[in-house]
Structure 1
Amino acid sequence: MINWSEEKVRAFQKTLLNWYDQNKRDLPWRQDHDPYHVWISEIMLQQTQVQTVIPYYQRFMKQFPTVQSLANAEETELMKAWEGLGYYSRARNLQRAAQQLVDDYQGHWPTDVHELQQLSGIGPYTAGAIASIAFNQPVAAVDGNAFRVFSRLLEIDDDIAKPQTRKVFEKVINRIISKERPGDFNQAIMDLGASYMTATNYETAKSPVKAFNQSYLDGVEAHYPVKTKKKRPVPVDYFGLVIHSNQGYLFEKRPAKGILAGFWMFPLFNKSALAADESMTETSLIQALEKQFHSESGLSLHLTKVPSKPVSHTFTHQKWQITLLSSRLSADADLSFFSGNWIPTSEFENTPFSKVQSKMWLAYSNASNK
């Protein structure tokens, strides 16, 4: 897979690290090599851009400065701190891992890349990042940047969408990585992939390692990395119910597992589950929803459509389109058979909401103020 001589490997390491020393990004989690700082930043950076993460990271560190404080945090407090970052299972796994560190490791971090993966939510990439940056272990940290950079440098044709391809890249990078400065090496690859070797609009002609980039030298850089296209998210249509009274708005808690687990949200109803047949109009669907809601909760609603565009939100495998409906209930309505409660607007600041819930509230608020 790699035909570089030892001399070429050393030349690449020197070129890359010299460039990194002069041009590395000034990021708050790079001020030291604390494994807790490395870990939190890497989990936040999954599926999220650096500039978005910076203020979240800074606030998170003020609120949870140590593993112990994270392990002991109230779930509501933790989820509120994470609000807006998405992929909320990451936050729950952070706390589980913090509790493992406190309970099973007496607060001491394992330094072995394989043992790090025993902690909740830590996969091969994050383990490699922690081991190399915090503990100077010469192990690869293979993320999207590493896939992109090394597939172009070495013309690796393996499909990076396939899980087994990670092993190919780990083997290659472990052969090339600097044994003296593995953490800086991995971070230099991250910076390279975020600057001169981005997914699109890359500027390899200005790259510090262009002389080592075989795909650039061969004029085939656009072919790398090799990646099969993901399936498009499946569209799912919902009704979102904005039910209000003098006590506030009616929310229900999402199930403990699945999408947006544990979050308080406006009640959602899948349109297709309401449809007896394909010929049902939206008016008929709303009438069917009123009947279903009454049979399940004992609450009688008169639903009217909120004059706003459907709220759109895309997850990895689903794309939600939510049509908002509103209704008013008496503040003393019997909620005995409803799996939720009133939340006044004064409590919104202290209640962790998902991004899609925030979108629904914004759409409703804008429509109500017109």
Structure 2
Amino acid sequence: MTEDADSPLPPDLDLDAVREALIEWYEADHRPFPWRETDDAYEIHVSEVMSQQTQLDRVVSAWEDFRDRWPTVDALADADRSDVVGFWTDHSLGYNNRAKYLHEAAGQVVDDYGGEYPETPEELQELMGVGPYTANAVASFAFNNGNAVVDTNVERVTYRAFDVPDDDDAFEQAARELMPEGESRVWNNAIMELGGVACTKSPSCDEAGCPWRTWCHAYESGDFTAPDVPTQPSFEGSRRQFRGRVVRLLGEHDELALDTIGHRIRVDYAPEGEHGREWLRGLLSDLTEDGLLTVDESGETATARLRK
């Protein structure tokens, strides 16, 4: 249980159970990015710089090509900077300053640290272009010596799961309290994976087998808004798309209240709002007419279920 009276986490939260559930979920199955299979600080540093504002799937081939061309920090330090910048441009990795900073940092590691990366977040920030987040990530994933990572994914997860206030200090404190001591490598990987595959802007709680559903405030309430998800994400489909979401959702549950369905299929659902009960009843009416589901109005709360 949480012990700090001023903790942003629920006072009755079983921290041991929460930690165990997330780590078991991550270790059972996670995206096999190659930099997760190494504890080489140089390789991790390169992956972190490449991943800034670039989709991870696109980073994989670039990271592998970069490692093949400059396999060690010494090799990168000896490289011509124009070649490094040219590689960055050829692989569409964004701002070329990142390539310049990465090359400069490699020189610092060689010249100032004898070719061995420093191991603490504070020391790593002495390297060119390495801010607090990247320093902490390298310390965590290379040396298991980092602090709790706090990025938009972690903020979204803790906001939804544990109702942490939308406040930078609260997110930092919650992240610190959640992370088990001495396990920054697996923990930071796991919680970012949770935000990357399950608790995304449009969450897939059941499909991804989110390990925190037992404790999750958003899963219980159906309200999946978050600091970086103030409104419904850009709409790609039509009523047909939302009808499909309803059918998939009810396929996973025997019966659900109408408001629960609404919150689960779109993040800006509000019972009395533009996309509220009236809008939802229209979808359900279409599905009822198609013979796909039934709506039960007999109880205090209307519910829907798929037709057997």
TM-score class normalised by the smaller sequence: 0.5 to 0.7
Question: Which of 146, 155, 164 lines up with 2:163 in the alignment?
Answer: 155
RMSD after superposition: 2.1
Match of 1:207 in 2: 210
Question: Which of 110, 135, 145 lines up with 2:118 in the alignment?
Answer: 110
Instruction: Please say if 1:121 is aligned against 2:108.
Output: no
* Structure 1 residue matching 2:139: 3-state secondary structure: helix
Equivalenced residue count is: 221
Q: Could you give the per-residue CA deviations for residues 308-362 of structure 1, whole angstroms, max 9, x where no partner exists? A: xxxxxxxxxxxxxxxxxxxxxxxxxxxxxxxxxxxxxxxxxxxxxxxxxxxxxxx
Q: Could you give the per-residue CA deviations for residues 27-53 of structure 1, whole angstroms, max 9, x where no partner exists? A: 111222111111111111110111100
Q: Sequence identity, in percent?
A: 36
Whole-angstrom CA distance in 2 between matches of 1:150 and 1:131: 22
Q: Could you give the per-residue CA deviations for residues 229-261 of structure 1, whole angstroms, max 9, x where no partner exists? A: 9xxxxxxxxxxxxxxxxxxxxxxxxxxxxxxxx
Correspondence 1:30-109 to 2 at 5 A: 30-83=36-89, 84-109=92-117
**Runs of 4 or more off by more than 4 Å in structure 1?**
4-7, 226-229
Question: Which of 9, 15, 21 lines up with 2:15 in the alignment?
Answer: 9
* Structure 2 residue matching 1:199: 3-state secondary structure: coil
Residue 45 of structure 1 aligns to which amino acid in structure 2?
S
Q: Decide which structure has the larger Cα Rg and report it.
A: 1
Instruction: Please say if 1:220 is aligned against 2:223.
Output: yes
- Give the TM-score normalised by the residue count of structure 1: 0.56
Question: Which of 163, 176, 184 lines up with 1:182 in the alignment?
Answer: 184
Whole-angstrom CA distance in 2 between matches of 1:169 and 1:126: 18
The alpha-carbon deviation at position 228 of structure 1 amounts to 8.0
Whole-angstrom CA distance in 1 between matches of 2:20 and 2:103: 39
Contact 1:157-1:226 within 8 A present in 2 as well: no
Larger strand share, 1 or 2: 1
Match of 2:145 in 1: 137
Structure 1, unaligned stretches of length 5 or more? Answer: 160-164, 230-370
Query: Structure 1 residues 195, 60: closer, same or farther in 2, change over 3 A?
Result: same
Whole-angstrom CA distance in 2 between matches of 1:216 and 1:152: 8
The alpha-carbon deviation at position 134 of structure 1 amounts to 1.2
Match of 1:173 in 2: 175
The alpha-carbon deviation at position 61 of structure 1 amounts to 0.1
Structure 2, unaligned stretches of length 5 or more? Answer: 1-6, 232-308
- Give the TM-score normalised by the residue count of structure 2: 0.67
Q: Which moved more, 1:142-151 or 1:45-54?
A: 142-151
Whole-angstrom CA distance in 1 between matches of 2:104 and 2:12: 42
Query: Structure 1 residues 7, 151: closer, same or farther in 2, change over 3 A?
Result: closer
Whole-angstrom CA distance in 1 between matches of 2:153 and 2:170: 15
Query: Structure 1 residues 98, 59: closer, same or farther in 2, change over 3 A?
Result: same
The alpha-carbon deviation at position 105 of structure 1 amounts to 1.3
Contact 1:157-1:225 within 8 A present in 2 as well: no
Larger helix share, 1 or 2: 2
Contact 1:17-1:185 within 8 A present in 2 as well: yes
* Structure 2 residue matching 1:189: 3-state secondary structure: helix
